Copies of this chain bind each other. A is one copy, B any other.
Amino acid sequence: MTYRAPINDMLLALNHGAGLQAAVKAGHYGDYDSEIAAAVLEEAGKFAADVLAPLNRTGDEHGIKLENGGVTTAPGWPDAYKRWTAAGWNAVSGSEDFGGQGLPLAINAACTEIWSASNIAFGLCPLLTLSAIEALDAHGSSELKNIYLEKLVSGEWTGTMQLTEPQAGSDVGSLRSRAERAADGSYRISGTKIFITYGDHDMTDNIVHFVLARLPDAPAGTKGISLFLIPKFLVNADGSLGARNDIYASGVEHKLGMHASPTCTMTMGDKGGAIGYLIGEENRGMQCMFTMMNQARLGVGLEGVGIADRAYQQALAYAQDRRQGRAIGKKGDGMDAIIVHPDVKRMLMQMRALTAASRTICYATAVALDVSVRATDPAVRAAAAARGALLTPIAKAFSTDIGNEVTSLGVQIHGGMGFIEETGAAQHYRDARITSIYEGTNGIQSIDLVTRKLGVNGGASVWALLDELSETVKRVETSNDPAFGTTGAKLRDALGSLERASKWLLERLAAAPNDALAGATPYLRLFGSTLGGCKLAEEALAARDLSDIGNPERYVTLARFFAENITVQAPALERTVIDSADGVNGADAVLLP
């Protein structure tokens, strides 16, 4: 079972649900040619199907090996990576100043979905490199940029992000890795980092590590953290590789999934300290990290979308192939393909609708991030930045929750075969599970949504979005298309629920913050379910005006299914946010009697 990028769905989501077309029309994308998205996605889909998808099982089966201080990836992976960089895929959204193609993040987001769908463990490596590029581009000295940025943009070298230590996970501020100032202006870093994705591998000649550490005289907590660039091999003045630096993979994790992606324990300082170069200012490392977090979190959300779509495609093919039982009322001999059974149809529709909604949410986040840097009007940029900031935790958490739900449905549709590893459905289920944990657990995303994105401006970002969504719902209500069923009513109810829950949270944030935190997770779900429902409805409305989309009514049915199965839960989620804080905050008596 291979993977085919669903180009039509992706373009509909990108151009209409996510608002790329409107932003282009408004001039925020300069001279961007609207034909380019289709062309890029078509090519990306081919590369993914031909090169990456076939290596997905291989990677899972072989995993990676740590031997003699170096990590070996699965057979075929280094070669695939070289083809990937040679084809220019690493450089899609990179700055043209450093050899990149300078395409919108929105297009790269669609590509990220494709890489994740075809081979999530492979796609994770360039995601990390992208974060590294962003940190270096935004905060690095021009000297460091000149040495490292072009190689990172092309993908000739990969990047890592090294935050986590055994005692410092979600609580980054408690990290202990030490950096000492050296006489030449560089630093000597020592310490141990864990859970470092692609901390070592054999796909490139060099790896550029971005490491958080603490200077001897640094203040405690997050205000005393600095960011350092630490190359695996030092780079000579002529750009050639020099000595091996004192940073080594000292262990790799045995994980539930993502077997092909090395998760390393990194040790620095066994030989006197890794030579590192400061990024940004001393003690301002957290700020550097924050600037790149939006895109990294969006990237993980897109992993959720991608793995969900892969699981959907595989389940759909199985459901058309596997014959068991017969359709109601069918006469004669022989079994039917299981897709005739309503319960199987329901599961497939659920998979498809959840995937489509999370796709559009992620793409809309990317469009907002694009506009926040590309628009010329500062007010437009600021509004887009606020929108991007608001959507990011939803894109990350909602989409990755969906990745888990959809891959689980994928297993279920396979029946007993789903539990057998060679079928491949179980791998998607295993691989997806980390996405709701890393790059900030989904609980952290919910808290970020409530405390920072809702709370930061008294709800202004939320009200602005609700106004837009309300317009969409009005168009559904006045469309008079009976195929929408109860979609309009469900979406309207959901908007009310989201508004009331937001107001309640704002009030509690001030009066009793633990009450607000108790409702953060159901609030994020409420937000995603409402937003996703409106976005799919918007796409359904747009599809009716498009000539090249085939039967547009299928998008209406999909939007309807989402509204009647997912968005319909909004009022209950509102009540959970508001009613259950007492139960949550009274948990100790139950849990620790």
Contact = CB atoms under 8 A, between A and B. Distances in A.
B571 A557 contact: no
Nearest to A438: B416
B584 A346 contact: yes
Given A324-B170, A342-B518, A416-B164, A553 B443 contact: no
Contacts of A554: 589-590, 593
A257 to B, nearest CB: 7
Contacts of A316: 591
A488 to B, nearest CB: 12
Given A412-B437, A550-B593, A554-B590, A256 B430 contact: yes
In the assembly, how many copies of this chain are there? 2
A419 B170 CA distance: 15
A105 to B, nearest CB: 27
Nearest to A324: B171
A316 B346 CA distance: 35
B430 A415 contact: no
Interface stretch (A71-79, A141-149, A558-566): A558-566
Contacts of A256: 411, 419-421, 426, 429-430
A441 B413 CA distance: 9
A588 to B, nearest CB: 8
Given A550-B593, A560-B583, A583-B557, A343 B419 contact: no
A341 to B, nearest CB: 7
Contacts of A119: none
A475 to B, nearest CB: 20
Given A171-B324, A433-B411, A572-B571, A257 B419 contact: yes
Interface in A4-43: none
Interface residues of A, number: 100
A325 B168 CA distance: 9
A334 B293 CA distance: 26
A586 B258 CA distance: 36
A413 to B, nearest CB: 9
Given A568-B575, A572-B572, A590 B443 contact: no
A436 B343 CA distance: 14
B421 A255 contact: yes
A520 to B, nearest CB: 6
20 contacts: A169-B415, A169-B416, A171-B324, A220-B333, A345-B588, A346-B518, A346-B584, A348-B587, A404-B408, A411-B437, A418-B437, A419-B434, A485-B582, A557-B590, A561-B580, A561-B584, A561-B590, A565-B580, A568-B575, A571-B572
Please name the 5 residue pairs, one residue from A and one from B, whose CB atoms are nearest each other, closest first: A561-B583, A345-B587, A256-B426, A342-B517, A343-B443
Interface of A: 164, 167, 169-171, 174, 194-195, 220, 253-258, 316, 320, 323-325, 328-329, 333, 335, 339, 341-349, 352, 404, 408, 411-412, 415-416, 418-422, 426, 429-430, 433-434, 436-438, 441-443, 446-447, 485-486, 490, 513-514, 517-518, 520-522, 550-551, 553-554, 557-558, 560-561, 564-565, 568-569, 571-572, 575-576, 579-593
